[in-house]
Structure 1
Amino acid sequence: MRVAAKADAQTRQYAKANPQAVAQAATVCGAGYELSMAKPLPDGTDPRMRFATLFAYTKGGNDNGCAILDNNAGGPRKMNIKVCNGVTGDSSKCDDDPGTFSQYAGPVYTAHPVCAKVTATMADSSGRPWINYSTEYAFLCN
């Protein structure tokens, strides 16, 4: 699994420590994608204590983006992953994948990933929110 040249230190460290998880998540997106971000969630949580991991991949530099929300909670959870086009596209065009998932939500795609907004949510088994994370930096934002 290739890591994007401009991926941050946290993503590089995560990929090095979890090569199998990163590679498995990448196969969901399809061939030719490289990791641009791996974010253990909830934000600020020790990666060993995470409930989910947000994976963002790019293809062809910044030509295409794919994101998934990997379920690390140990059972089915209500989840959603959503990506809206970035600065080079119509930001009102979004792709999302809501539902109850044992493995992952997504993949969701954008043809305009530069600074595309990605939102990831997850609830515990009783429906209380565990994760409500949003970023414009899941893909390379430059």
Structure 2
Amino acid sequence: MKKLLIVFMLIVNVFAFDWAGKVNWTTSYKQAKLIAKQTNKLIFIDLSLSDCPPCKFIAKTAYSSDKVAKYMNKHFVNVIFIIDKQRVPLEVAENFGGSAPTLLLMDKNGKLIGTQVGLNKSWFNKSKNYDSAGFDPKTFSPKKFINFLQKNLK
């Protein structure tokens, strides 16, 4: 019964941005912590802005990738906050330094494990095409993004 309740809460709170890709998102940090404790998963948090090109780039490339979504859904309870449109809990907001996107990895108790601000050149096959003005989705590598999640946010 508890597992059914957890699944129901997650489904009810899926944040359905049209640009959020295939990742299962929730917008409730409190529920994410509860689910993380019961499933023994880490919490992945994306702090984005609605008009942020790098934020949308990650959503359209990383979060829309079948491989990335499968990995993230299996290993994390995923939370997204569009910080100019939503209220962000203080426990999360205190880890936001003012630049978006900010990606956070927390343990099931809310302890910060890792942070990434902005795009990372290691996610791309051709780093010469990486710049803040013209992102090239053709150079994005789902495999490199997953490797980054495994190594750098833990």
Quick check: TM above 0.5? Answer: no
Structure 1 or 2: larger strand share?
1
Structure 1 or 2: larger helix share?
2
TM-score under structure 2 length normalisation: 0.28
| Structure (1 or 2) with the larger CA radius of gyration | 2
Q: Which has the bigger relative contact order, CA under 8 A and spacing at least 6?
A: 2
TM-score under structure 1 length normalisation: 0.29
